[in-house]
Amino acid sequence: MSQSHEKGLLYGLEARIAPVPAFIAALQHVLASVVGIITPPLIIGSVLGLQAWIPYLISMSLLVSGLGTFIQARRFAGVGAGMICLQGTSFAFLGVILSGGLIVKSRGGSPEAIMAMIFGCNLVAALVPILISRCVRQLRKILTQVVTGTVITLIGISLIKVSFTDWAGGHNASDFGAPRHLALGALTLLIILALNRSRNRWVRLVAVMTGIVAGCLAAALTGNLHLKPAASADWIVLPGFFHFGFDFDWAIFVPIALVSVISVIEAVGDLTANCLLSQQPIVGQKFQQRLQGGILADGVSCILAAVFSAFPNTTFAQNNGVIQMTGVASRYVGMVIGVMLALLGLFPGVGAVLQQIPSPVLGGATLVMFGSVVAAGIRVMTQTPLGRREMLIIAVAFGLGLGVEAVPEALKYFPSILSNLFGHTVTTGGIAAIVLNSVLPGEEAPTALPDGERAGN
């Protein structure tokens, strides 16, 4: 077992690692991320009435996450950060994808038409991170910590509604809000909270998985888990190009493209943290190259996702914690993670089993994840002192963003493309924060008077 020469790491970024420890280290990353990868297709499929296709969507999400993770770790021709940057299905796109899917559904579109539209718009939006990767330095001057933190907080707030709906029984549940649903979600949440407070780092690592398993067991014991046979008899599923066809609509695309910009903002923070934990510089030419390669790989992963019928991918933040706990930063482990996730995605039985998770259990678990997004946004906002200018930006962005979410009929006289664009918390609040940050003049620091002038007063 060759040890890394880098202080604080068992295996450094370029360290070769034996198969057994590589597999063990990779398994920790898979356990930490698999729930986050499969949750968006579960939620989207449930809300949009795509139940028959959920196992396939989950399989493709795992496959694309594996391919994207491998690309990030391998880094070829400037594509990829060359680190353990696990790619997973992004929660940030949930709101705009659900809104777009419901628009197609309201027009009488079939499940296949809904997915053709979503994946078509996602494919074009994948060009956004690819283009931004060429001008990362200029982007960071515009997207300050106040703007970034505001947007991340709004993303979390917009997702909590989805989580709470699941907790109460799920969309269209005949007994929505029944005490048994609330009890199952509460049990799942309490177990996750208890395990997260454990002093054992491995217990904390599997807290979410354990909470979901415990919730499912409780649902089975109380007769609230109704297992269904797998819809597909196939043992293995092979991906197809544009399985549901291709469609495009500007009104649906624009919000997705804007969230793609927001996703880049999050990725910049995650990649920077990854560099720190992997003992790599966070300034200079090498850092710039890693940042550009990582964002470019995010875009490539999103292209693969659209082509293979999965939802947009982004760099997951929770895996940075796994690097810190294991002391393993070897990018070769990232390649193993990619292979493991891709193999999981080829077997539809995995998706069929995961689809059986009761909605209240999923709601209790995702509440922690989505609440963590809100907390992370607040932390980013408050990293620097908030002056009057910054407080004004936050106040207006939150007011507009949450206002259109609470009173969507206020935009009923707008053209459909504008009402769809500004009818979502993230896009309205995010645009407001970016514009205000660009046009409001900064506050000048008070100038100290010379000693002589002060004395004369």
pLDDT (tens, 9 = 90+) of the chain, 457 residues, equals 444 445 567 788 888 888 888 888 888 788 767 878 888 998 899 889 898 898 889 999 999 999 999 999 999 888 999 999 999 998 878 878 988 899 899 899 999 999 999 999 999 999 999 999 988 777 767 777 788 788 878 877 887 887 888 899 887 778 888 999 999 999 999 998 898 888 776 677 677 778 888 999 999 998 888 776 655 556 788 888 999 999 999 888 988 898 888 788 778 777 877 887 888 887 778 888 898 999 999 999 999 999 999 999 988 876 776 787 677 889 999 999 999 999 889 887 776 677 678 889 888 888 887 787 788 778 778 877 888 999 999 999 999 999 988 888 888 888 766 776 677 787 788 889 989 998 888 766 555 545 555 544 4
The pLDDT assigned to 308 comes to 95
* Element (DSSP H or E) covering residue 280: none
Q: Which of 271, 321, 319 is nearest to 295 (CA)?
A: 271
Contact call for residues 360 and 168 (beta carbons, < 8 A): yes
pTM: 0.72
> How many other CB atoms sit within 10 Å of the CB of residue 443?
10
| Residue ranges in 278-358 assigned as alpha helix (H) | 285-307, 318-326, 331-345, 348-354
Query: Which pLDDT belongs to residue 12?
Result: 86
In the chain, DSSP finds a helix count (H) and a strand count (E) of 20, 2
Cβ atoms of 432 and 395 closer than 8 Å = no
| 74 contact partners, CB below 8 Å, separation of at least 6 | 80, 82, 331, 334, 335
Identify the CA nearest to 429 among candidates 398, 407, 386, 384.
398
Residue 325: its pLDDT value, please?
66
Report the distance separating Cα 210 and Cα 291, nearest Å: 34
Q: Categorise residue 279: left if φ over 0, alpha if ψ from -120 to 50, beta otherwise.
A: left
The CA distance from 76 to 300, in Å, is 12
- The per-residue pLDDT for 214 is 92
Instruction: Give dist(CA 314, CA 391) in Å, integer.
Output: 29
pLDDT for 67? 96
Residue 13, both tokens: 């970024």
Report the C-alpha gap between 166 and 103 in whole angstroms.
Answer: 21
Identify the burial level of 167 via C-beta atoms within 10 angstroms of its C-beta, where 0-12 means exposed, 13-18 middle and 19 or more buried. buried
What are the structure tokens assigned to 225, written together? 């888990």
- Residue 441 burial by CB count (10 A; 0-12/13-18/19+): exposed, middle or buried? exposed
Residue with tokens 């909605």: 359
Place of tokens 């709004």: 154
Which tokens belong to 178? Answer: 């029944």
Reduced to 3 states (helix: H, G, I; strand: E, B; else coil), residue 87 is strand
CA dist 334 and 339 (Å) reads 9
How many residues in the chain?
457
Domain ranges of the chain: 19-440
CA distance 229 to 250: 39
